[in-house]
Amino acid sequence: MASLQLLGVEKSYKGGASIIKKLDLFVEDGEFVVLVGPSGCGKSTLLRMIAGLEEVTAGHILIGDKRTEGLPPSERGVAMVFQSYALYPHMTVAENMGFSLKMAGLPKPQVAQAVERAAEVLQITHLLQRKPKALSGGQRQRVAIGRAIVRQPSIFLFDEPLSNLDAALRAQMRLELAKLHKQLGTTMVYVTHDQTEAMTLGDRIVVLNGGHIEQTGRPMELYERPGNQFVAGFIGSPKMNFLPCRVQASSERGATVQIGSSPRPLQIPAPSGRVAGEPVCLGVRPEHVRLTTPDQGIPARVDIIEEMGDVAVAYLHVAGLERHLVVKTPSSAMGFYEGGQVGVAAELECCHLFNQQGVNLSLG
């Protein structure tokens, strides 16, 4: 086990494309950190730099107390699970798992013992003599993880390991990964674009955007107190509603804003000092919006309802707003129909105000 430090790490390619921009991050020993962000934000590149598969343009990466400049991937004490699993197709599961130990020159009985131990942890002992082509997606994933475990690394690196699995298997593997982290207690860095994986697996989430960190924090911290509009929009499903509006008045109790052409202004908790007429953006999560009768709240029309079983998602048209207002509500509480008129009320203490630079004003 080891901690991980990224100090002013940068990555750019010939021709000037800058992928990672002066990034600092500290991952504690035994911590499960999830790097999350949209496609092209540099999260996989960052992981590959930690693994030693990509060169660092500037800055330093420390694994434990060891600087990694010039260290080949195999000497960094990391193991990586690839998105494609990267299992050697011509080798059996046992050979795949024992390959690193074989390369290290360990005697065969010792390799077999280590493979057996890892297989028991992952419950794949019965698959050891099979070739990867004879395995299901979930089994391949387990073998890929097993190959990483056998190396007894200081840090596990996961590059979107569940993205090739179906929804049910993904949920199951998510659970198993969480159990594995508890069991091994090893530092894990996990890359995903799936915010459900990020929320459920990570001790801490690092939200990346355009090669820099937007925010780091515990999953619920990012959900409840997003630092900016990007993080607020990225964490949560369906994503947060952003309603452009203007400040009508500001006091110690918060800022009063008007939504669309609604005659009923809302008072959002925010530090005083906002200027009347200041353009802001109101952020409210779909699960923090309630549907009422048209005579209460902001009047709206139900355009589309998506039934999910336990919950329903309604897309509402509010006069004066360009985009739909999304509402997530328990199916049993829906009671409305497409084309019907409703009233919309928000849990004001859960709303956020963002300024034009996207900074969350509600945090003070």
Site residues, other proteins (CB under 8 A): 51-53, 72-74, 78-80, 82, 84, 86, 88-90, 99-100, 103-104, 147, 151
Question: Where are the strands (E) in 13-111, listed by range?
Answer: 18-27, 32-36, 58-63, 66-67, 78-81
Q: Which of 36, 29, 72 is nearest to 53 (CA)?
A: 72
Which DSSP category does 118 fall into? Answer: H
Q: How far is the CB of 114 from other proteins (least distance, A)?
A: 13
Do 124 and 118 contact (CB within 8 A), yes or no? no
Q: How far apart are CA 249 and CA 319, in angstroms?
A: 22
Q: Is the Cβ of residue 52 or residue 217 nearer to other proteins in the bound state?
A: 52
The pair of three-digit structure tokens given for residue 103, joined into one six-digit string? 């390369």
Q: How far apart are CA 299 and CA 161, in angstroms?
A: 45
Q: How far is the CB of 71 from other proteins (least distance, A)?
A: 12
Q: How far is the CB of 17 from other proteins (least distance, A)?
A: 17
The pair of three-digit structure tokens given for residue 337, joined into one six-digit string? 């129909």
Q: Is the Cβ of residue 190 or residue 230 nearer to other proteins in the bound state?
A: 190
Q: Which of 308, 315, 313, 338 is nearest to 328 (CA)?
A: 313
Q: Is the Cβ of residue 156 or residue 230 nearer to other proteins in the bound state?
A: 156
Q: How far is the CB of 73 from other proteins (least distance, A)?
A: 4
Do 77 and 15 contact (CB within 8 A), yes or no? no
Q: Is the Cβ of residue 147 or residue 193 nearer to other proteins in the bound state?
A: 147
Q: How far is the CB of 78 from other proteins (least distance, A)?
A: 7
Q: How far is the CB of 88 from other proteins (least distance, A)?
A: 6
Q: How far is the CB of 83 from other proteins (least distance, A)?
A: 8
3 state DSSP class of 286: helix
Q: Is the Cβ of residue 105 or residue 277 nearer to other proteins in the bound state?
A: 105
Type of residue found at 178: A
Helix axes 108-122, 137-150, angle to 10 degrees: 130
Q: Is the Cβ of residue 106 or residue 311 nearer to other proteins in the bound state?
A: 106
Q: Is the Cβ of residue 150 or residue 334 nearer to other proteins in the bound state?
A: 150
